[in-house]
Structure 1
């Protein structure tokens, strides 16, 4: 059965000429010509990001939590990579070969130490994300809700967005999703670059409509991935050593099953917490069994996503972003590891969804806002108390994970109903 694409998400309003409206919506380089609705989120972005960046260095923050990972891990990796090798044998190095470019980027910032250069690189990636969301959101038929989502969500995580490299990874996913509609090959290529840094941006191309555009997406993705892999293999030794550390990971206590085991300790469960493979994991009875179960849930989730891909017939301009959100939530919720910075990924994709009027994911983003606020309570505000076994804070973590699970189910259900349900398929037939 042929599929139906509803075309560009541009609708004339109140009889206004479409070409004239498009002309007025062009993004001027002169700030004096920018409308208030664009200046407001930019102003909020500037104020909040100044505070967030200051928190990374502030004596009021716990220095170890604020920039310890950048200072101790990223800087160490950059030194090793500068010698022409990946951190071979380091169990904390769990990233694809393209991550070398991100880790080395702060070294190229003149006049700064590594931590300062890292914050500057991350700040520029953040600025690029909000600029792209504003530019696309200001077009006729689009919404600035995506830009507002991004600028409002990041401060909820305090200093975390500028103390991890996940904003840079999210930048690739946002650029890929924004490019798919007009330049499919470019969207595929950018998604591949992101996937070579931290796998999950590959989801950006999962919802691309079938046909010639999909072929362009695949060509762009494969070509970029192959080119970057070849460069990494030529420049560095041991580009695939990260696979060993990933395969050995257990149940991290912030994950969905990990948080339940954390609470179970108050009811006689004999498990403990141990630092392994770069995170704090639950060790004790049933952990191996639960770990295997989570892998099976991940496989089952992606089998469902592939079934959706086969059954989907209605592809609107928001479908690639909506599908990426559903796939990413399945990936995060069924993972053996959930770190606070994973919320940055979700909000990047969610912000793209909200730039489209036809998106199915608005209520999903609302649940993610609540989950993010609870995440900051757990880390960094009361991190040590959670580890020490505080029952109330453990319950906060469980509620956060319940919200993530609810967001996952809601995202998948709404995506299916809009694109692959019997009603959607019937509507497609009637429109032909």
Structure 2
């Protein structure tokens, strides 16, 4: 096994040195086409009793598009909680004027999906996990822009591993401007020159990408104010605890606030504060891991990225089902390396994704009513995510100190 040690000259191995077996293109392509056709079919008949997943694009994204096309970021809209780069994704369907906004958005999402599949296949593994894992979320990935963000994160991680840290940093920086979490993908970059180049490029790309809209367009930074008021979403770990408490007689209620369904009532503020404290603790653990790590393999960057995003997911006040898109993408990158220590963790993501789609959109009405069946699904889903997080932390910590 190739290891990298702090203080020693860092030269990543040639890309071919760490590739797993490439998937056969014809079976992979056939399964991709078949599964994506099924996802499109579900999206086409989205009104058949399994949740109005497409309304996010039809209503919210299209409203944002009109505001952005008019030269301003959404003003006074508490559902706009994303960095300015998200505006480019919302505007991108305008590149296909011969299609409706909804059709263009889905077409571009499928294009990003195909790009992720191709990148993973060329890297020598992980493409099957992505191809077969994404449909477990049913048609949801086609009606959110998380696939596009995941494409930037996947490309950035693979670029760093291929010995192109500046390109990887730029891609991570651009991803951070769309949704903040891609910043975590550089946490495990090999120490020394690679880390300096990757982190510097990411910071410059993010700073430049933030400064331009902030100076040129009004309300570009309003998203910062909207994030602070969020409460405990029903699908989060804290929400699951409150759901169990509700079944036991707790008097809290479910209300629509800040673009999501959240719990309100006694002790909700305490649960929200506890989530924030756990997020701070997660950040401290990641810093301690980075400072104390002594060995890097070609898989460490991807393993650290998945662990970091898992930590911030399970400690968040919000765990929307599309977060599983991120985790599946990062897990697929882990599987491109034979040296990954997170293979068992990645496998836990598959049933977690299936349970996420069972909660939303299939049983979402039950979830809002806090029925025992919906509660059981959320306990199982969030239990899997919590177990995956603990296992990832344990395996990453050991690998960084003793090797694998």
Query: Normalised by the shorter chain, which TM-score bucket?
Result: over 0.9
- Structure 2, unmatched stretches of 5+, are none
Residue 231 of structure 1: how far off its partner (Å): 2.5
Q: Are positions 1:233 and 2:233 aligned together?
A: no
Q: Distance in 1 between matches of 2:167 and 2:154?
A: 12
Shift of 1:368: 0.9
Confirm or deny that 1:163 pairs with 2:168.
no
Secondary structure, in 3 states, of the residue corresponding to 1:232? Answer: helix
Higher relative contact order (CA 8 A, sep 6+): 2
Larger radius of gyration: 1
Task: Name the counterpart of 1:302.
Answer: 283
1:36 Cα deviation from its structure 2 partner? 7.2
Match of 1:285 in 2: 266
CA distance in 1, matches of 2:205, 2:270: 38
Which residue number corresponds to residue 341 of structure 1? 322
Between 1:368-377 and 1:192-201, the stretch displaced more is: 368-377
Aligned to 2:71: 84
Question: Which residue of the partner structure matches residue 361 of structure 1?
Answer: 342
Please name the residue that 2:61 is paired with. 74
- Work out whether residues 83 and 223 of structure 2, in 8 Å CA contact, stay in contact via their aligned partners in 1: yes
Shift of 1:3: 5.2
**In the alignment, is the contact (CA less than 8 A) between 1:252 and 1:336 conserved in 2?**
yes
Number of residue pairs matched by the alignment: 398
1:36–1:262 Cα change, 3 Å: closer
Q: Is the 8 A contact 1:119 1:162 kept in 2?
A: yes
Cα distance change on mapping 1:119 and 1:128 into 2, 3 Å: same
CA–CA distance in structure 2, aligned partners of residues 6 and 192 of structure 1: 23
Q: 1:102 aligns with which of 85, 89, 93?
A: 89
TM-score, normalisation: structure 1: 0.88
Q: Using the alignment, how far apart are the partners of 2:46 and 2:377 within structure 1? A: 27
**1:117-175 deviations in Å (ceiling 9; x for gaps):** 110110000010000001111xxxxxx2x000000111101100001110011011001
Distance 1:100 1:172 in 2: 15
Partner Cα separation in structure 2 for residue 204 and residue 92 of structure 1: 26
- SS in structure 1 of the partner of residue 54 of structure 2: helix
Q: Does 1:190 align with 2:171?
A: yes
Structure 1 runs not aligned, ≥5 long? 14-20, 26-34, 138-143, 428-432
TM-score for the superposition, normalised by structure 2: 0.94
How big is the alpha-carbon RMSD for the aligned residues of Structure 1 and Structure 2?
2.1
The CA deviation string for residues 311-364 of structure 1, in whole angstroms up to 9 with x for no partner, is 011111111100000100000000000000000000010000000000011000
Whether the 8 Å CA contact 1:254–1:339 is kept in 2: the answer is yes
Partner residue of 1:173 out of 124, 143, 153: 153
2:263 aligned counterpart, secondary structure = strand
